[in-house]
Structure 1
Amino acid sequence: MIKFLHTRIRVSNPEQSIDFYTKLGFELGDQKTSPQGNQLAFLHLPGSEHFLELTYSPDYKVEFPEDLMHTCVGVDDVIAYCDKLENDGIEIWPGDWRTKFADPANRQMAFVTDPDGYEVEILPNK
């Protein structure tokens, strides 16, 4: 059997990124320094075996083309989750998500952007 174990993203400020992802519901696991000198932080969502590896290197400038990649989380209640994130000071887009989600014909799909510009898509678990 083959498993998808983790995804690595480069970050410019590990503490700021850890704070952002823990507000999304991720839990901080191991933190260590790699043999190459990178600071590593492994985060996971409860119930998921897949880890998000945040990698910081002081000599690496985090730059990437807009919309190059994104991650996605599934939640039981998108409206309640987005409310919580907004209360934690995280901007949800589209900005009119409350109006859109009130219409049952619209799919509940939202995005947030992490401190380095990586997008995180939010979808219902169903």
Structure 2
Amino acid sequence: MIKFLHTRIRVSNPEESIAFYEKVGFELGEQKTSPQGNQLAFLHLPGNEHFLELTYSPDYEVNVPEDLMHTCVGVPDIIEYCEKLENDGIEIWPSGWKEKFTSGERKMAFIDDPDGYEVEILEVS
């Protein structure tokens, strides 16, 4: 069986990105330097096998075009989760997300990481 192991994204400030993803719920695993000299940090969500690999190269300028890609996390209670993120200083979009959730619309929101990568949030049972 083939397994999907990790996704790599380039970041401009590893410490800031790690702190952001820890607020989202990721846990920091291994950190190391690659043979090419890149700083690598592997993060995972408890209970998941797939890792998010953050890669930092001092000579690489990170410029994430809008809507290039996104990751997605599923949570059991999106209102509770988004309120926690807001309390941690993370902006949820679209604006008015809480009112939309109470009106019966699909419960989906987004946040942006420090470099502009989107993280979709879905309520899952």
TM beyond 0.5: yes
The match for 2:120 is 121
CA RMSD of aligned residues (A): 0.6
Deviation of 1:80 after TM superposition, in Å, equals: 0.3
Superimposed CA distance per residue, residues 45-104 of structure 1 (whole angstroms, 9 cap, x where no aligned partner): 001000000000000000132101000000011000000000000000011001101112
TM-score (norm 2): 0.98
Q: Which runs of 5+ in 1 are unaligned?
A: none
Q: Aligned partners of 2:68, 2:91: CA distance in 1, in Å?
A: 20
The match for 1:83 is 83
The match for 1:9 is 9
The match for 1:65 is 65
Q: Percent identity?
A: 78
Paired residue type of 1:78? I
Q: After the TM superposition, list the runs of 4 or more consecutive aligned residues in structure 1 that deviate by more than 3 angstroms.
A: none
Q: Aligned partners of 1:87, 1:54: CA distance in 2, in Å?
A: 24
Superimposed CA distance per residue, residues 12-34 of structure 1 (whole angstroms, 9 cap, x where no aligned partner): 00000000000000000000000
What is the total number of aligned residue pairs between the two structures?
125
